[in-house]
Structure 1
Amino acid sequence: MIEARGLEKRYGDKVAVHDLSFTARPGVVTGFLGPNGAGKSTTMRMILGLDRPTRGEVLVNGRRYRDAAAPMHEVGVMLEARAIHTGRSAAKHLLALARTHGIGRRRVDEVIDLVGLREVARKRAGGFSLGMGQRLGIASALLGDPATLILDEPVNGLDPDGIRWIRDLLRDLAAQGRTVFLSSHLMSEMAMTATHLVVVGRGRLITETTVAEVIASASPPAVHVRTPETSALRSVLGGIDITVTATSADTLEVTGRTSEQIGSLARTAGIVLHELTPRQVSLEDAFMALTRDAVEYATAAT
C-alpha cells in the first residue's frame, strides 16, 4: 500500500506538489494521471525517498521507503528503464542488482524468461532497442518479487504484443494482492489496465476515483440511432430529460434513454431502426475535460 498524506514539495518559489493525499491499495491497479508539469514525477520521487517532501509524508507498506531493510523485496521500481550500465549484458545487469539483496541466479533466470529476454540475455544492454530496454527495466522491478510496484510509462516502446503482455501481467500481479501504481500518458492503455485513478494537475489532487466513475462523470452516455424515420422517433422520445441531436439526415444521438428503452419504444411505434449503438466518452476525453484548467503547457488552437 502507498499512502500519501499532505505531500508538498517546493523548489524555491515554485510549488511542484501541494497538499497531495491519496492511497494506492493492494489488489488494485492504480493509474497516476496528470498533464505535463502536474507533479507526477516529483511525487513518485518522494514516494521513493529520492526527493524529500517540504511537508507531509508518504508511506509504503506502513513505513518510509528508505526505512525498508530490503527495498527490492518490498517495492519494485521503474522510473527510467534505460538507467543501466550499457556495457553489461541484461543477465549481468540483473545479477548485479540481485546480489545487493541476496537474490539467487534462479530468480534472475525467471524474470529474464518472464519478460521475454532469453534470446538477448547475454547481449550488451547498450545495444537494446527502446522496447527491449523497457522489458529489462520491468525485469529489474520484478526481481525482488515485491509486494508493491511503481512503474513510470511501462508500455513506452513496446510493440502490440508487448503492450498486451504488460497489461495482463499488471492485472495478474494486482489479482495476487499486490499494489500496482503506474503512470502513463496512454489513456487507452490506462483504461484497459487500471481500475482506480489518481488525477493531479498543477501539483494538486483533481480526483481520486475509479476509471468507470471518471468516464461516467465526463458526460452522460449517448446512444447512436440510425433510422429513416427520424421525425417519428423524435416524437416518441419526447421528454424533459431527453436530448435528441440530429447528426445527419438519418442519424440521431440520444441521451437520457438506454438503447434497450429506445428499441422498445421504436418497436411499439412501428419505427424501423437500422442501427442502435450505445456510445460512451473515452478515458482520454474524460481526462481532457478534468484537466482542462490544469494544463501548464497548452498547445495553440489550430
Structure 2
Amino acid sequence: MIEAVGLTKRYGTRTAVSDLSFTVRPGVVTGFLGPNGAGKSTTMRMLLGLDAPSAGRATVNGRRYAEHPAPLHEVGAMLEARAVHTGRSARNHLLALAATHAIPTSRVDRVIDLVGLREVARKRAGGFSLGMGQRLGIASALLGDPATLILDEPVNGLDPEGILWIRNLLKSLAAEGRTVLVSSHLMSEMALTAEHLIVIGRGRLIADTSVAEFTAGASQGGVRVRTPQAELLTGLLAELVAGRGEVTAEEEPEVLTVTGTDSASIGRLAAEHGVVLYELTPRQASLEEAFMELTKDAVEYGAVAAPAEQVKERVA
C-alpha cells in the first residue's frame, strides 16, 4: 500500500506539490493523472525518496522507501526507462541490479523472458529503440518480484502489441494482490487499464475515485438516438422535451442527441408513432472528456487558438 499524507514540495517560492494526501490500495490498478506541470513526477519522486518533502510524509507498505532493508523486493519503480548505462547489455544491467539484493540469475532470465527481450538481452542498451528501452525499464521494476509497482508512462514508445501486453500484465499483477500505481497521459489506455484514479492539478488533489464514478460525475447527459426517420422523430421529441431539453442533429447521418428526457420515454414515444429505432444509448462522458472538463482550470500551459485567417496565412 502507498500512502501520502500532507505531501508538500517547494522549490524556492514555487510550490510544486501542496498538502497532497491519498492512499493507493492493493488489488487494483490505480491511474495517476494530471496535466503537464501538475506535480505527478515530483510526487512519485517523493514516494521513492528521490526528493525530500518540504512537509508531510510518504510511505510504502508502512515505511519510507529508504527504511526498507531490501527496497527492490518491496517497490518496483520506473520513472525514467532510459536511466541505463548505454554500454551495458540489457542482461548485464539487470545482473548489476540483482547483485545489490542477492537476486539469483534465474530471476534475471525470467524477467527478460517476461518482457520479451530474450533475443536482444546481450545487446547494448544504448542501441535500443524507445519501446525496447521501456521493456528493459519494466524488467528492472519487476526484478525483485515486488509487492508494489510505481510506473511513469509505461506504454510510452510501445507498439499496439506491447500496449496490450503491459495492460494485461498490470491487471494480472493487481489481481495477485499487488499495489499498482501508473502515471499516463493516454486517457484511452487508462480507461482500459485502471479501476481507480488519483487526479491532481497544480500540485493539489482534484479527485480520488473509481473510473466509473469519475466519468459518471462528468457525464454530459442526454441520449443518443439513431433512426432512419430522424426528421419525424425530431418533431415528436421537440414537443416531448419542450422547455426542459433539446433535440440536436449530429453530423453522423440519422443520429440525434436528446436532452431533457430518458431512454424509456423516447422508446415509448417512438413505439406509439411507429418510428424505427436502430440505437437508443444514454450518453456518458469518456475518461478523456471527464479529465479535460475537471482539469481545465489546472492546466499550466494552455494553447490559444489562432483565428482561421491567421492559420491560413501561416500555411500560405
TM-score when normalising by structure 1: 0.94
In structure 2, stretches of 5+ residues that fail to align are 307-316
Does the C-alpha gap of structure 1 residues 245 and 94 become closer, same or farther in structure 2, counting only changes over 3 Å?
A: same
The answer (yes or no) to whether the contact 1:236–1:269 under 8 Å persists in 2 is no
The answer (yes or no) to whether the contact 1:230–1:251 under 8 Å persists in 2 is no
d(CA) in 2 for partners of 1:256 and 1:30?
A: 35
The answer (yes or no) to whether the contact 2:237–2:266 under 8 Å persists in 1 is no
- Shifted more, 157-166 versus 258-267: the winner is 258-267
Deviation at 1:31, TM superposition (A): 0.7
Deviation at 1:256, TM superposition (A): 5.2
- 1:57 matched to 2:60? The reply is no
The residue number in structure 2 matching 1:11 is 11
d(CA) in 2 for partners of 1:178 and 1:244?
A: 47
d(CA) in 2 for partners of 1:260 and 1:91?
A: 60
**Aligned AA (1:31):** G
The residue number in structure 2 matching 1:172 is 172
The superposition leaves residues 129-152 of structure 1 with CA deviations (integer Å, 9 ceiling, x where unpaired) of 000000000000000000000000
Classify the secondary structure of the residue corresponding to 1:293: coil
| Matching of residues 88-237 of structure 1 within 5 Å | 88-227=88-227, 228=229, 229-234=232-237, 237=240
User: How many equivalent pairs are there?
Assistant: 302
The superposition leaves residues 158-213 of structure 1 with CA deviations (integer Å, 9 ceiling, x where unpaired) of 00000000000000100110000010011100111111111111111111111111
Q: 1:283 aligns with which of 269, 287, 291?
A: 287
The residue number in structure 2 matching 1:75 is 75
Does the C-alpha gap of structure 1 residues 156 and 230 become closer, same or farther in structure 2, counting only changes over 3 Å?
A: same
- 1:294 matched to 2:293? The reply is no
The residue number in structure 2 matching 1:246 is 249
**Aligned AA (2:301):** Y
- 1:33 matched to 2:44? The reply is no
d(CA) in 2 for partners of 1:209 and 1:239?
A: 36
Deviation at 1:301, TM superposition (A): 1.7
d(CA) in 2 for partners of 1:89 and 1:193?
A: 31
User: Alpha carbon RMSD of aligned pairs, Å?
Assistant: 1.8
The answer (yes or no) to whether the contact 2:233–2:270 under 8 Å persists in 1 is no
The residue number in structure 1 matching 2:66 is 66
The answer (yes or no) to whether the contact 1:94–1:108 under 8 Å persists in 2 is yes
Deviation at 1:274, TM superposition (A): 4.0
- Shifted more, 138-147 versus 217-226: the winner is 217-226
Does the C-alpha gap of structure 1 residues 240 and 196 become closer, same or farther in structure 2, counting only changes over 3 Å?
A: farther
Deviation at 1:220, TM superposition (A): 3.8
Does the C-alpha gap of structure 1 residues 88 and 288 become closer, same or farther in structure 2, counting only changes over 3 Å?
A: same
Does the C-alpha gap of structure 1 residues 66 and 252 become closer, same or farther in structure 2, counting only changes over 3 Å?
A: same
